[in-house]
């Protein structure tokens, strides 16, 4: 159901990290059956940051190609969604604003509600553009997911950023009304301020997610949303790719539909290609699913996609998007595949060193050795401040 003005995702670009660890390497180390990772949770590898990469460098790398293709003149708001923030006060988006040379007449804000934050950013952006259709909003979702070594969550780590330019007359996907909303106070996954790794009750988190699927769909249909048969594909939040399959089976059961495994695979399978090798990127995860779908599926012009965004704690939203005819001319499929293929595989020892690394917290001067071949890097820490720099790098593509 379109609003009067078509508003949605005009451009979309992804970024990830320098390194990746395969689940074969993890399984060889911890004795797990590789089938549990590759078929049970649907993950083959996970992105790992170099020491000079973080949510800011990934975010800037994702957003830079958007600013190379479009002028920044109409961008007056940058929304940065993350649950792996680098500061408790300053919005990480201000570092990105600076690295990308955005105009000073911009509002920049950081949003948090676990993995749901990117969708909050997208919906807020749609509202801002509705108020003034001449404006565009840069929405960035960027996260590093980190669990304790040896914990069940370890195999679901990952890292990525997705940048989206939200505007009127979007070239890719129109965001439709209504939305189905759901909030419940559950402690399924959380990270107290004093911890660098997340805490999770794995089974509780899956069941909380499935409750949210029901809750959002109920609200969506009560508010006059589309019927199940009108959707060509479903993008679910993917903490691990099998979760998208579980969620869709649950939705079909809830709607009293027969569950045909082939149909479930067709509805969600094309959305899992990037997440299966990148891992959980929290706020970015569902939009990586959208990128994979648009990049790899047959022509989806005028087709409707269902989006189910879930953030532990828990907040969820179901909404529909309609794909713009001619969208394929605006995709960045080759660049997205390069984001994945350029990562260097690391061995278990290197992974462990990255996992255990912590910067000193005494406020001294600590240059960070150059590791990333990406376009932006964390150059060092000084006086409790993070210092970022642009590298001269060929991976910056329009």
Q: Annotated binding site for (3S)-3-hydroxy-3-methylglutaryl-CoA: which residue ranges?
A: 147, 246, 280
Q: Does 307 bind ligand CAA (CB under 6 A)?
A: no
CA-nearest of 173, 126, 169, 122 to 331 is 173
Q: Which stretch binds ligand CAA (CB under 6 A): 31-39, 288-296, 357-365, 376-384?
A: 31-39
Q: Does 319 bind ligand CAA (CB under 6 A)?
A: no
Q: Does 162 bind ligand CAA (CB under 6 A)?
A: no
Which CB sits closer to ligand CAA, 196 or 333? 196
Among 25, 29, 40, 252, indicate the residue that binds ligand CAA (CB under 6 A): 40
CA distance 231 to 319: 11
Contact 196, 34 (CB under 8 A): no
From the CB of 133, what's the least distance to ligand CAA, in Å?
A: 33
Q: Which stretch binds ligand CAA (CB under 6 A): 85-93, 201-209, 225-233, 288-296?
A: 201-209
Q: Is 345 a catalytic residue?
A: no
Q: What stretches of 96-157 adopt beta strand conformation (E)?
A: 107-111, 136-145
CA-nearest of 37, 17, 245, 236 to 142 is 17
CA distance 318 to 218: 10
**DSSP-derived secondary structure letter, 42:** -
**Other Cβ atoms within 10 Å of 147 Cβ, number:** 20
All residues at 6 or more sequence positions from 228 whose CB lies less than 8 Å from its CB, including other chains: 251, 252, 255, 257
**DSSP-derived secondary structure letter, 328:** G
Q: Which of 10, 23, 53, 83 is catalytic?
A: 83
Among 82, 280, 309, 322, indicate the residue that binds ligand CAA (CB under 6 A): 280
Q: Given the structure tokens 């960035």, which residue do they identify? A: 140
Q: Which of 237, 245, 248, 250 is catalytic?
A: 237
Binding residues are: 147, 246, 280
Contact 269, 191 (CB under 8 A): no
The interface with ligand CAA within residues 56-85 (CB under 6 A) comprises none
From the CB of 28, what's the least distance to ligand CAA, in Å?
A: 15
Contact 21, 46 (CB under 8 A): yes
Q: Does 23 bind ligand CAA (CB under 6 A)?
A: no
Q: Does 264 bind ligand CAA (CB under 6 A)?
A: no
Q: Is 4 a catalytic residue?
A: no
**DSSP-derived secondary structure letter, 330:** G
Q: Which stretch binds ligand CAA (CB under 6 A): 15-23, 103-111, 222-230, 234-242?
A: 234-242
Q: Which of 10, 95, 97, 115 is catalytic?
A: 115
Among 77, 205, 272, 372, indicate the residue that binds ligand CAA (CB under 6 A): 205
Q: Does 196 bind ligand CAA (CB under 6 A)?
A: no
Provide the 3-class DSSP secondary structure of residue 103: coil
Q: Does 186 bind ligand CAA (CB under 6 A)?
A: no
Q: Is 255 a catalytic residue?
A: no
Contact 246, 272 (CB under 8 A): no
Q: Which stretch binds ligand CAA (CB under 6 A): 21-29, 238-246, 256-264, 363-371?
A: 238-246
**Other Cβ atoms within 10 Å of 244 Cβ, number:** 27
Residue whose CB is nearest to ligand CAA in the complex, by number: 40
CA distance 375 to 32: 36
Contact 168, 119 (CB under 8 A): no
**Other Cβ atoms within 10 Å of 384 Cβ, number:** 10
Among 240, 307, 351, 388, indicate the residue that binds ligand CAA (CB under 6 A): 240
Contact 51, 354 (CB under 8 A): yes
From the CB of 8, what's the least distance to ligand CAA, in Å?
A: 24
Q: Would you name the residues annotated as active-site residues?
A: 83, 115, 237
Q: Which residues bind ligand CAA (CB under 6 A)?
A: 33, 35-36, 39-41, 115, 152-153, 155-156, 188-189, 200, 202, 205-206, 209, 237, 239-240, 243, 280, 282, 310, 312
């Amino acid at each position: 159901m379109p609003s009067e003005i078509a508003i949605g995702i005009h451009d979309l670009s992804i970024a990830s990290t320098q390194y990746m660890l395969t689940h074969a390497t993890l399984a060889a180390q911890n004795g797990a059956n590789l089938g549990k990772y590759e078929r049970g949770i649907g993950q083959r590898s996970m992105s790992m940051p170099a020491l000079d990469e973080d949510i800011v460098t990934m975010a800037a790398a994702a957003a830079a190609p958007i600013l190379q293709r479009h002028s920044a003149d109409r961008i007056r708001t940058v929304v940065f969604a993350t649950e792996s923030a680098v500061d408790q006060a300053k919005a990480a988006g201000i570092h990105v604003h600076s690295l990308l040379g955005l105009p000073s007449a911009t509002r920049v804000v950081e949003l948090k509600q676990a993995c749901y934050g990117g969708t909050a950013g997208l919906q807020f952006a749609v509202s801002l553009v509705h108020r003034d259709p001449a404006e565009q909003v840069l929405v960035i979702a960027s996260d590093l997911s980190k669990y304790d070594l040896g914990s069940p969550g370890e195999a679901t780590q990952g890292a990525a950023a997705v940048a989206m330019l939200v505007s009127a007359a979007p070239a890719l996907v129109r965001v439709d009304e209504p939305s189905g909303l759901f909030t419940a106070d559950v402690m399924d996954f959380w990270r107290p301020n004093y911890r660098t790794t997340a805490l999770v009750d794995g089974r509780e988190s899956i069941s909380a997610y499935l409750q949210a699927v029901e809750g959002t769909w109920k609200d969506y249909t009560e508010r006059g949303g589309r019927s199940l048969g009108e959707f060509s594909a479903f993008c679910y939040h993917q903490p691990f790719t099998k979760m998208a399959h579980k969620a869709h089976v649950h939705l079909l059961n809830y709607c009293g539909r027969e569950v045909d495994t082939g149909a479930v695979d067709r509805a969600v399978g094309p959305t899992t290609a990037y997440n299966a090798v990148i891992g959980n990127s929290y706020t970015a995860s569902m939009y990586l699913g959208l990128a994979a779908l648009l990049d790899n599926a047959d022509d989806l012009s005028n087709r409707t996609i269902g989006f189910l965004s879930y953030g532990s704690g828990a907040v969820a939203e179901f909404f529909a998007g309609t794909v713009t005819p001619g969208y394929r001319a605006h995709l960045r499929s080759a660049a997205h595949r390069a984001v994945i293929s350029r990562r260097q595989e690391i061995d278990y020892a290197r992974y462990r060193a990255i996992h255990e690394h912590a910067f000193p917290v005494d406020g001294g001067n600590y240059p960070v050795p150059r590791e990333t071949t990406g376009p932006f890097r964390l150059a060092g820490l000084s006086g409790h401040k993070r210092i970022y720099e642009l590298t001269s790098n060929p991976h910056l593509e329009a």
